[in-house]
Chain A
Amino acid sequence: MFIPNTEAERDEMLQKIGLSRIEDLFSDVPKEIRYPNLNLPEAVSEMEALQNLKDLAIANDSTDDLICFLGAGAYNHYIPAAVDAIITRGEFLTAYTPYQPEVSQGTLQAIFEYQSLIASITGMDVSNASHYDGATAAAEACVLAYHHFRSKRKKFVLSRYLHPHYRETIKTYFQGYEKIQITGDGAVDGLQANEDLLKLVDYDTAIVYIQYPDFLGRIHDFKAFAEQVHAVGAILAVSVNPLALGLIKPPSEFDADIVTGEGQPLGIPLSYGGPYLGLFATKNQFIRKLSGRLVGETVDNKGNKGYVLTLTAREQHIRRERATSNICTNQGLIALTSTVYMSLLGKHGLKQVAKLNYNKAHYAADQISKLKGFEVVNFGAFFNEFVVRTPKPVSELNSLLLDYDILGGYDLSNDYPELENHMLLAVTEMNTKDDIDYLVEILQEVTND
């Protein structure tokens, strides 16, 4: 369809393969579904189509219209105007992941800077050029671990507080691998302790996956945990919120082997769930097994600095069916977005944003804990998200809050039946003190039966 051809050319091609009509090509597709009736409305003009789309867009309430306390993996952060101005330059906006890499020096340099920044904030030795999102990055980490042990270790131990979507994606990736056992994230009474997770870790374990801060917002010190994982030779993978790393110590400090994460908090708009950014960084030990693209800095034969795709023998266009990963692309423009964001903020700016998130979330938690009927659960160390036990079902509470233009927190009972009436609230630098006080006031009002 993409290559125009004439009737005569089509006939010639059909004759060559011994068919008489194009329809014969589809003979394996059952007749009744070959040309489905799609039940589409009448075609409209461009002007009408635009108006229809505008009408739909107006019906949305965005984070510009509402005060947002919803997080659970994607967060409402301020994005400096310069980010958009830079990334919409044609040279960046239209470039795809480099397939003729060395002529795309600008793109390669941007990726190299991205890799350097991610390696720096995670404390790891090396970062790849990025994946699609936090979920696919987590799945790729499991693929790496599986191949690292040459499929001899068959157990993946996932924390119950690794993002539910990431766990689902890992399980999807490993459908059809008969002997793989994915465990650790099953239902529990109350809260799962890290010690309980460790009990599942043995010499058959390829990878142990934790999240930091975890899905409930909590920050744990995983030092002793990591030692026990390493004692049986398993790989420790950690999914992070990169913004939190502006404040809390990087996973390298407790000897994580692989760090992945959702890069959305780094200057990427919520955009109804994507496109986002998959962070993926490891220790040097795993550099040959790193999935995806990798850009290196070198010099040409005249001594000028230049950038190249490096260690490409890992990739499927060279290793073919023996490649351990089939990712040959990256999230180029979005990786650039995060690079521009991090560069604009700098080391101190990142720390400052992280601190604002931390302080505001802790103020909100303090205020909510004073409300009758509400309880801040597990009031230990947390970053910008925390769990509140509510006097009403969360879905009911959220629809009441919406009447007051408040987008309430995440209903944890969606994924954790044991956490009925538990709301996960996120507070970012976008929430003013007035916003938080207003939330507290309205929570009181709508539960004051």
Chain B
Amino acid sequence: MSGGAQQIDWAVVTPPLVMACTAVVVLLVDAFAGGPRTRGQALVPAALTVAGVVATSVYTVWALARDVTQGQVRQTFCVDSALNGPAPCSFAVDQVTLVFWAIVLFGALVVALLGTAAVAEGRTPQGEWHFLLLSSATGAMVMAASRDLITLVVALEVVSLPAFGMVGLRLGDRRASEASMKFFLVSVVSSAVTLMGISFVYGATGSVFLSQIDVALTTGSGPREVAVIGVVLTIVGLAFKVAAVPFHMWVPDTYVGAPIAVAAYLSVVSKAAGFVGLLLVLAYGLPDLASAWSPVVGVLAALTMTVGNVVALWQQHAVRLLAWSSVAQAGYILVPFGAVAAASREEMSSVLSRSAGYLAMYAVVNLCAFGVATVVGTRYPAQRLVDYRGLVREEPLAGWGLAFALVALAGLPPGVIGLLAKVVVFSSAAGPATWLAIVMAVNVAIGLVYYARWLMELFRPAETAGASTYDVPNGVGAAVGMTLTAAVVFSVVPGLLLDPVLAALAP
């Protein structure tokens, strides 16, 4: 590599930098302002976080969106090529990156708003919590832009490490600490496995840059068997992150132990980071080995959705049910990965874009469901399903929000966006992996049972009819309103969400 000064395209790295700087500002403001004396002061970190996320989004749209959506790829941190071909770069913003940035930023915004539910309780240090949230989101953004394995692993760690803190930050909550510890141990193991896999891939191909790995494998220089072992190990490591069966054991306990806002974060942003990792490694770096990894991921997908749905059938605890449902949903998202064994490169990108499309839908409606769980949690910390009885009458926004989120997760009208996202995923598997599509069809029916059970509770008359006794924090109300509005709008005009996302990978 050449040692000269590098040209850095600052416009490309600014969005994650803004997030990181906001994180530092939040921490410093909190540290120097002293303890909050009023409820309004306690909301300052959340407000700063929201401002940071909004600023990042605005900047991204202003500086990058136009170029990138026209098909340009903005790259930086490039090295002079030792091999032939174009200079490999570590950091690139293309349409896929933008899609995942949008998911991460939207998720971080909603989670920051949901976090305000903890203010009233006063047990969670707000400054630190929002610092960790922003740091982790920064990691997720870097991850979506990383184009070499080292950056990718570092970004993965930046996503995970603050998340442990967020899970266990509530003072004096022993279950949260236990959840945090469990999550930490699993995550560390999975990182180690990923690293191992990556080092195999590096050993087999002689490069850490995804583009050069691809070149090395296509030209056949390097032992493929070693690379295959590396791929399998990398998949295992990332499967922990996306909570695919059999690497899902940590999910229910961690979600239940953590504050609900953090569970929402783990189920959407952290999961999205895992998926983008899989997408980058498999589709950008190793498309040549698709015949090896696609069947593996296909089996993982089938297992994940089946186990997730079947176990969710017995759940009586709302967050635990959402945890298992998110396991099952991860299975649906993985389906397109299992259907590209024999695909050409163009087909592969177009098929894998279906995953991103489903993930985008899932992010919106799942955040909505977690938002309503936060509302109900303010009155019923036990989160039993029967606590949701009569919610539609008592708290119509929350009740209808959850009802809509549940039918969308189940994939039925009026949640048309959920239904079409399922169609999109089905369409990737029908043909190349029809067995997987049939497994998924059966799973959709199983999933419906528990979503319907919960739905029924919402519409049953409340035990004690009367005025609502919910005290919904404004931030949580805004989060539910935002996600519900998005879900409804996307259901009426599904192209608004699915067309750009699906076009991103298939130009």
A and B interact: no
